[in-house]
Amino acid sequence: MQEKFEEIRKRALEEAKQVDSLNTLNEIKAKFVGKNGEVTSLLRSMKDIPNEEKASFGKLVNDLKEEVNKFFNEREEYLKNKELESKYSKEAVDITLPGKKKSVGSLHPLNIVRNKIIDAFTGMGFEIFEGPEIDTDYYCFQALNIPKDHPARDMQDTFYFNDNILLRPHTSPGQVRTMENKKPPIKILSPGRVYRADDDASHSPMFHQIEGLVVDKGVSLCDLKGLLDEFVRKIFDSDTKTRFRPSYFPFTEPSVEVDVTCCKCHGKGCSLCKGTGWIEILGAGVVNKKVLEMSGIDSNVYSGLAFGLGIERITMIKYGISDIRTLFENNIKFLNQFDRR
Ligand code: DAH
């Protein structure tokens, strides 16, 4: 009997070693420990064993069964691992290959500067108001104290659709539309596209402006100076200084043009500032009382300040760009030079 057990054990081990596919493993295993397997039938023959040997016989068969199961389970594990390994090696990726780089877009320099300007002013409590690009003669001129045939219209050679409708030549109509719709205190910024029949290295028929307007009790030229000083320090270097020069705009009285110390030479004089140390950046002033009144604001109670700046101009000064047209050519090499954040 002992020999028979040993022979089955050996054969099971041998056959388990030879199985090389998971599909056939169970079949072969069943030959030994399946329902009609050799070891199972040994158990069945228990009834023919004399009573006093039953216990030791049962133990031997059970040990054999356990061992045979172990052989096949170990083989199953081994085959499963082998299968996984071959699957992994087929799916392997060559991690030494260089990856495919995704090119990330960047903001256009004009948007970078526009966002910076908006951040600077919203930080001082300004709200954004955007007006229409196609507007009427009234909003673009008359309500800003520029009557028909006024010589100040020559400053802006404009695209008209007809006598009354035009592409706005500046963002100043935003002042009027705000004052008509909002009671003081008013503190708004109006950014957007504007259009003029102009085209050379420093002028483009379409460009961008930002208008600023503050209306409240007791607003003065001093407030304008304070606001603009803060603004230029945020946009240019923190040591940048401003200077007001007297000027003329029909919608402000008094009117000023605002210069900043040249960001290239810091006031010493260079080619960018044409040797003067100063660069003009915007027009501004105290809102003309006539303009307040025309928009329904009592000029005896309220006063205002306004300013208008060109985003292209500020961008060109900030980055030392000499030709405005490069901003609109969409040349990737040019655009890639600017901050990606
Ligand atoms: N609208 C003027 C222009 O386009 C700029 C300007 C000057 C706006 C003075 C203002 C201002 O609000 O007060 O040239």
Digits of tens for pLDDT over the chain (341 positions)? 778 888 988 998 898 899 999 889 889 999 998 988 888 888 888 888 888 888 888 888 898 899 999 999 999 999 999 999 999 998 888 888 888 888 788 899 999 999 999 999 999 999 999 999 999 999 999 999 999 888 777 766 789 999 899 999 999 999 999 999 999 999 999 999 999 998 888 899 999 999 999 999 999 999 999 999 999 999 998 989 999 999 999 999 999 999 999 988 888 999 888 899 999 999 999 999 999 999 999 999 999 999 999 999 999 999 989 899 999 999 999 998 886 55
Q: Is 316 exposed, middle or buried (0-12, 13-18, 19+ CB in 10 A)?
A: buried
Q: Going by CA atoms, what residue is nearest to atom 6 of ligand 1?
A: 308
Is 128 in a helix, a strand, or coil? Answer: strand
- What Å distances lie between residue 121 and 1, 18, 208, 303, 310, CA to CA? 100, 82, 17, 20, 15
The pLDDT assigned to 155 comes to 66
Q: What is the pTM of this model?
A: 0.72
- Residue 65 tokens, joined: 């069964």
Give the span between the Cα atoms of 277 and 247, in whole angstroms.
Answer: 19
Q: How far is the CA of 285 from the centre of ligand 1 (A)?
A: 8
Q: Going by CA atoms, what residue is nearest to atom 4 of ligand 1?
A: 170
Which residues have CB under 6 Å of ligand 1?
Answer: 170, 172, 211, 249, 252, 283-285, 306-308
Give the span between the Cα atoms of 249 and 212, in whole angstroms.
Answer: 15
Q: How far is the CA of 172 from the centre of ligand 1 (A)?
A: 6
The pLDDT assigned to 296 comes to 96
